[in-house]
Amino acid sequence: MADRDFTPAAGKLAGVGSYDALIRLFTRENRWRPQLIGRIDPRPGQRLLEVGCGTGTLAIAAKSLCFEAEVIAIDPDPQVLAIARNKAAEQGVEVDFREGFLDQQSFEAASFDTIYCSLVLHQVPPETKTELIDGMIALLKPGGALQIADYAKQSGLMRGLFRLTVQMTDGVADTQPNADGRLEELLRDERLQISQPDGSLATPSGRISLFSRTRK
Ligand SMILES: C[S@@+](CC[C@H](N)C(=O)[O-])C[C@H]1O[C@@H](n2cnc3c(N)ncnc32)[C@H](O)[C@@H]1O
């Protein structure tokens, strides 16, 4: 279904089959993923959307925490979705995984309680960063939550590690705006307000930041 190019989960140097192992090794995921899931905090009857779900780790965790919430998870890569679907089946969790980019999905405006997106925005082209944030805001109900975890502004040692790891696999053109603070700028959108303090974690691949925003 993908009618345009995208950077796959593990970048252009490694296959998607190695993604989960690379994330375990290079991102301290046992620290930031539980924090993100705590912020997502799925509740019965809520409708959740994950953008760029990769191998499905977060979507499966969200659904496992609250079976009465609807979790839809999209990604343009059929290979990574096959892994996600297998993981969900093995764990007996039903997630609605859908192939495609955000703008190829026919979702009603203002129809989600929570939208979340992790480790995607750093690896998409600059114009796609803007389009994705814009698209996610449009799909949130007023009062709905936008939860982001990603490489954002980097400095000092973290900038060096980011250069040696993420930028080697995902390239510089798409990732440098994040290292320079573009994500923080985009999240200052006037339609959003801060709902929890921004958090961050130093990792072997650079600093991963968490942002919680509410749609006004
Ligand atoms: C680094 S992985 C992150 C996966 C998952 N969110 C996680 O936390 O492990 C980035 C994912 O974004 C997807 N992706 C790339 N370009 C995208 C785009 N324009 N829109 C949505 N997803 C995209 C890739 O296919 C990949 O699965």
The domain that holds 209 is classified in CATH as 3.40.50.150
- pLDDT for the residue 147: 98
Domain presence at residue 52: yes
Domain presence at residue 29: yes
Q: Under 8 Å CB-to-CB from 5, ≥6 apart: which residues? A: none
**Calpha distance 121→165 (Å, rounded):** 16
- pLDDT for the residue 11: 87
Domain presence at residue 4: no
Q: In the chain, count H helices and then E strands.
A: 9, 7
Which mean pLDDT values do the consecutive 10-residue runs of the chain (216 residues) have?
A: 83 88 96 98 98 98 98 97 98 97 95 98 97 98 98 98 96 97 98 97 98 98
**Calpha distance 122→130 (Å, rounded):** 12
Domain presence at residue 129: yes
- pLDDT for the residue 2: 61
Residue whose C-alpha is closest to residue 115's, from 152, 143, 149, 140: 140
Which one-letter amino acid corresponds to residue 5? D
Say yes or no: CB of residue 80 within 6 Å of ligand 1: yes
Say yes or no: CB of residue 11 within 6 Å of ligand 1: no
CB 216 within 8 A of CB 188: no
* Helices of type H across the chain: 19-27, 29-40, 57-65, 78-90, 126-139, 156-164, 166-170, 176-179, 182-186
- Count the domains in the chain: 1
Structural tokens at position 188: 């200052």
Domain presence at residue 38: yes
Give the residue numbers spanning the domain of 34. 16-215
Domain presence at residue 27: yes
Domain presence at residue 11: no
Say yes or no: CB of residue 9 within 6 Å of ligand 1: yes
Structural tokens at position 195: 């709902």
Domain presence at residue 92: yes
**Calpha distance 193→189 (Å, rounded):** 8
CA of 215 to the centre of ligand 1 (A): 23
Residue among 28, 53, 75 whose CB has most ligand 1 atoms within 8 A, to mutate: 75
Atom of ligand 1 nearest to the CA of 58: 8
- What does pTM read for this prediction? 0.97
**Calpha distance 205→61 (Å, rounded):** 23
Closest residue CA from atom 20 of ligand 1: 101
**Calpha distance 216→208 (Å, rounded):** 26
CA of 73 to the centre of ligand 1 (A): 11
Say yes or no: CB of residue 154 within 6 Å of ligand 1: no
CA of 80 to the centre of ligand 1 (A): 9
